[in-house]
Amino acid sequence: MEAAGKEEISVEDEAVDKNIFKDCSKIAFYRRQKQQLSRRATYQASLDSATTGKDSTKFRIINETTKVPLLVEVYGIEGNIFRLKINEETPLKPRYEVPDVLTSKPSTVRLISCAGDADSLVLADGKGDLKCHITANPFKIDLVSEEEVVMSINSLGQLYFEHLQIPLKQRATKENKEDTSVDASQEDQEDLGLWEEKFGKFVDVKVNGPASIGLDFSLHGFEHLYGIPQHAESHQLKNTSDGDAYRLYNLDVYGYKIHDKMGIYGSVPYLLAHKPGRTLGIFWLNASETLVEINTEPAVKYTLTQMGPVAAKQKVRCRTDVHWMSESGIIDVFLLTGPTPSDVFGQYSYLTGTQAMPPLFSLGYHQCRWNYEDEQDVKAVDAGFDEHDIPYDVMWLDIEHTEGKRYFTWDKKRFPNPRRMQELLRSKNRKLVVISDPHIKIDPDYSVYVKAKEQGFFVRNHEGGDFEGVCWPGLSSYLDFTNPKVREWYSGLFMFSAYQGSTDILYIWNDMNEPSVFRGPELTMQKNAIHHGNWEHRELHNIYGFYQQMATAEGLIQRSKGKERPFVLTRSFFAGSQKYGAVWTGDNTAEWSYLKISIPMLLTLSITGISFCGADVGGFVGNPEAELLVRWYQAGAYQPFFRGHATMNTKRREPWLFGEENTQLIREAIRQRYALLPYWYSLFYRAHVAAQPVMRPLWIEFPEELDTFGVEDEYMLGSALLVHPVTEPKASTVDVFLPGSNEVWYDSKTFALWEGARTVKIPVALDTGCGQIVAAPR
């Protein structure tokens, strides 16, 4: 929603201050892994002692340098999924394993040992068409489908595992001092951030020292990878250079830079690889800060004899290497073997759930602003839609509707009678959405704060007291949503008896839940803050917002006694957030480039399970010119979540404020949205029951056509509509690529006909709408 603290970022500042946020060179575990991996220490597997049980096959691997063993578990999972877990065999204390993301314990398929000796082991699922070839020295796994190696794990030797250590001050002997997975002299310790990591004025103290993990995956024959949101980047993932990895770390980045791999509001550690005939997925289940490096090697640059005897039988192909690195936790990765895009979507949803079925009203148009000033302002804006004959369904209120940023309250002067305001909206079959952030104002007269403090429901600092940070209300504490009791209590706050002034047409917007802490490191919470179960924040940072949305959605379900579907929009998210509602792309800017980047950003969210997604129409930051605003409405009408929003220091931009001609164009765009509501609702039903994305990149519908694999300026809505928004100023034509050599396409307005497998140049004017929408009956 808002600027991340005016103390740090000026609203007028369009460029992100890189001094506030880390790049890879400032991330200690990245520097350590790059340094250590250059020394090529390898792991060796003890396959002669491998055991195969009902659920998994287990064996040890040992680092040749440290001699410390790790336990490897390989699972076969129903639906052509493999799971690989690697953990310390005997850690000092349990390492964090991400709970609550998987919908249930996955049903396992017993793996059968087809062949094996001390040097190798072959495991197959019951059908035998998928096999894991495990090599002992050096440790490596090849995933084989129909005698073709499709993926190799640790073939580059980038498996990395830092073992939990006794704190330096407690070490009594020289032997203990030498027990470290990172060989670092005293001078190197500070630079490598082993026990303390400095960034600006902040010092991150690590009680158990370094604990990062990493692993490489080689995808044979694949050049096109997608996923790992959220980044303001192209849909197809780019090769990364040293120091330029994709970062997954949820942060409040106001007016984020585009074409940048820095982490922004949400993280889904899941990517897809696609080539004609095969789609794969890699789901890296880790909620700590994560970095992903990608490198595609053309076939001419290497020979597969380097990849082992199984792979050597393959014809020479291109290869893409993916290197995952996380600050802590364990290696827990799911390999989704497809083979089709639809199969991969089903496999991922089997693990993390499908998109929640939205209530019909939420698929209409939403009107928002930071802030509608008072009840009279709401009444006037609501009447403006009627006066100008523009349909809309939902009015939104930002933080100024509360009493001093105390959530679950109303400003008594501005909103003295919230029930009456809601009854006005109800009389026109409209709804209200209000904001509820995770920070709670420290105020002994604020009942929500008092009750949470009494019950110990706040995140704690590393010294044991309540964590305190600055956000919109000033000094605040942060609810610990990782605690089931906190979530249960928070859900109860949405009951009508608890939330005075609320009615059954009121729904919720969770914002600032990365969590945003204005004066914290990178504007977020210190990593050594303590959560339920005594887990440090570093272990679970990326899942904090996921838990708030979970608790909010449950609260709305309980409020209606299970009779109504909830609507909850969240800014921060993780894998599985689709089960609880909608997501948007945060604090975008009123520039043409942000309109353009919204398409690949939403496509990436869509293929990683989050179908209910959108971008603020018009751009949150700044003042759009009339042409840009019109084009954004025309584009937004064909994106899943459709909301106009603007920050508080911008000019008012309700749809009728730009002259009659532009009002007519915006009216028409919004009406087009409503004309297609039955189709939208049907698509969301398919997303809910069958995990099929609503908004689809062309390669999903045309998986054998190489020309579609890099397209990101147009997309399919379901399988029937192709959408090509106009994203350039003063455009007079657009080049629309029509895939499918056997397809026939029709202009949905003029009914002009084209055959597929070509690019057509289509004239556009401002009243043309969303470039062209063309339908293909198939």
**Secondary-structure percent of the chain, ordered helix, strand, coil, rounded to 5:** 25, 25, 45
φ, ψ of residue 52 in degrees (nearest 5): -115, 115
> Which among 293, 411, 480, 514 is annotated as catalytic?
514
Residue 364's nearest CA partner among 170, 110, 641 is 641
In angstroms, the Cα distances linking 323 to 25, 81, 294, 318 are 17, 20, 6, 17
φ, ψ of residue 90 in degrees (nearest 5): -135, 75
Answer yes or no: 514 catalytic: yes
Residue 437's nearest CA partner among 554, 615, 572 is 572
Q: Are 289 and 553 in contact (CB under 8 A)?
A: no
Residue 408's nearest CA partner among 438, 371, 366 is 438
| Cβ partners under 8 Å of residue 151, min gap 6 | 142, 143, 217, 218, 219, 220, 280, 335
C-alpha dihedral sign at 98, 525, 570, 701: negative
Q: Are 233 and 260 in contact (CB under 8 A)?
A: yes
676-681 long-range contacts (CB < 8 A, ≥24 apart) are 677/360, 677/363, 677/364, 679/717, 679/718, 679/720, 679/721, 680/363, 680/640, 681/360, 681/363
Answer yes or no: 511 catalytic: yes
Cα 302 to Cα 482: distance, rounded to the nearest angstrom = 46
Residue 650's nearest CA partner among 629, 627, 631, 624 is 624
The three-state secondary structure class of 484 is helix
Beta partners for residue 24, in sequence order: none
Answer yes or no: 587 catalytic: yes
Give the start-end residues of each E strand in 53-166.
Answer: 56-63, 69-77, 81-88, 108-109, 112-116, 120-124, 130-135, 140-145, 148-153, 160-161
The residue behind tokens 């082992």 is 308
φ, ψ of residue 160 in degrees (nearest 5): -140, 130
> Which among 252, 321, 587, 714 is annotated as catalytic?
587
> Which among 511, 522, 536, 654 is annotated as catalytic?
511
How many helices (H) and strands (E) the chain has is answered by: 16, 42
Q: Are 120 and 308 in contact (CB under 8 A)?
A: no
Give the start-end residues of each E strand in 337-429.
Answer: 365-367, 394-397
Q: Are 669 and 634 in contact (CB under 8 A)?
A: yes
**Residues assigned a catalytic role:** 511, 514, 587
